[in-house]
Amino acid sequence: MSNFTNNHPKRPPFHRIGVMGRAGKASIVETLNELIRLLKMRQLSIVIDAQTATIEGILIDGEHTDDSIIITPRHTMGEQCDLVIVVGGDGSMLQAASVMAGTGVPVLGINRGRLGFLADINPDELTEKVGQVLDGQYWLVERFLLKLQIIQNTTNNNTDNALTQILHEDIALNDIVLHAGKSVHTIDFKLKINNKDVYRQHADGLIVATPTGSTAYALSAGGPIIHPTLDAICLVPMHPHTLSDRPLVVAGSSQIMINIHKDNRTQPMVGADGKTSVPLENDQTLIIAKHDKTLLLLHPNSYSFYEACRTKLHWNLYSEEFSLD
């Protein structure tokens, strides 16, 4: 039984709005300032995380701000806000997810990146769409996350299931990736699902993705698009030496175990959502499973996953010849 749902009731009117963004583009500053002006015009309290507050050009004074703006450490945003709006691309949304997961505070994205599967409001629609959300015209959807653990085996025999010390932990909204780092050699690894042998594989790596992440790195590796409401995990091999090896979709409740074979010749690495990777040795086990925390995303009423696929993946490249009408 899934532990997440997609029919959350609407919340009471939002009063304390969190604002998060990432430095690097002048366009992000423009959109942040437009958002702040809109929220001030509606006389709402604004909570800005300390990292965003340091972005050059943002319309606040970090030391002498007015009473409508509060500056707080990013990790406390979930305690300070009843809605968080992120300005940036999907990478910014992934950063926000690591902070907001498990807080129950919904997150809304304004896209200033490339694709924007997570940040789905276009900047030229900011006033209209954010206004509609603040007026209660939205719907909420829960997305699950993955957790990874690297565990030291009790023996050097990777077939032994006795595990001990946790060496590393992380979470991911999109994907957890086993890869070969800077090496040009394939990785020799073994895969188990729910403690059942699946295969021993020679490949450049393996992408383990949520439905949310199925339109990200996993898609570029030939993985399927999974509707975000499904309770499933996708395993996509990267350049497998066995040409018949195909992506595999398993239940969201599955536990995935990966061991590096003793004959492996390269240094495997593991990363979550593009964050800094860590090594995985052949006397360690990588365990991936659903995290008990979820992320609550907020979409305008007009949002459609299929429309997002059509427009962002250019399914209707010649729309005048292949009209949907």
Q: What does the pLDDT look like over 117-152, one tens digit per residue?
A: 888 899 999 999 999 999 999 999 999 999 999 999
Q: What is the DSSP string of 140-166?
A: EEEEEEEEEEEEEESSS-TT---EEEE
Domain containing residue 86: 16-137+301-312
Q: In the chain, pLDDT over 70 holds for what percent of residues?
A: 90
For 213-231, write each residue's pLDDT tens digit: 999 999 999 999 999 999 9
Residues 107 and 169 in one domain: no
Q: How far apart are CA 85 and CA 212, in angstroms?
A: 18
**CATH assignment at residue 52:** 3.40.50.10330
Residues 156 and 102 in one domain: no
Q: Is 273 a catalytic residue?
A: no
Q: What is the pLDDT of residue 161?
A: 52
Residue 6 belongs to some domain of the structure: no
Confidence of residue 2 (pLDDT cuts 50, 70, 90): very low
Residues 33 and 116 in one domain: yes
Residues 149 and 232 in one domain: yes
Residues 235 and 271 in one domain: yes
Q: Which single residue is written with the structure tokens 């992506």?
A: 247
Residue 224 belongs to some domain of the structure: yes
Residue 325 belongs to some domain of the structure: no
Q: What is the pLDDT of residue 321?
A: 57
Coil vs helix vs strand at 260: strand
Q: CB within 8 A of 129, min separation 6: which ones? A: 121, 300, 302
Spot the catalytic one: 90, 170, 175, 204.
90
Least confident stretch, 17-26, 54-63, 188-197: 54-63
Q: CB within 8 A of 185, min separation 6: which ones? A: 265, 266
Count of domains in the chain? 2
For 257-310, write each residue's pLDDT tens digit: 999 999 998 999 999 999 999 999 999 999 999 999 999 999 999 888 998 898
Residues 161 and 281 in one domain: yes
Residues 130 and 244 in one domain: no
Q: What single-letter DSSP state applies at residue 8?
A: B
Confidence of residue 116 (pLDDT cuts 50, 70, 90): confident
Residue 23 belongs to some domain of the structure: yes
**CATH assignment at residue 229:** 2.60.200.30
Residues 26 and 93 in one domain: yes
Residues 167 and 98 in one domain: no
Average pLDDT in the chain? 88
For 82-105, write each residue's pLDDT tens digit: 999 999 988 899 999 999 999 999
Q: Which single residue is written with the structure tokens 């406390």?
A: 76
Residue 322 belongs to some domain of the structure: no
Residue in 167, 170, 127 with CA at minimum distance from that of residue 151: 167
Q: What is the mean pLDDT of residues 229-251?
A: 94
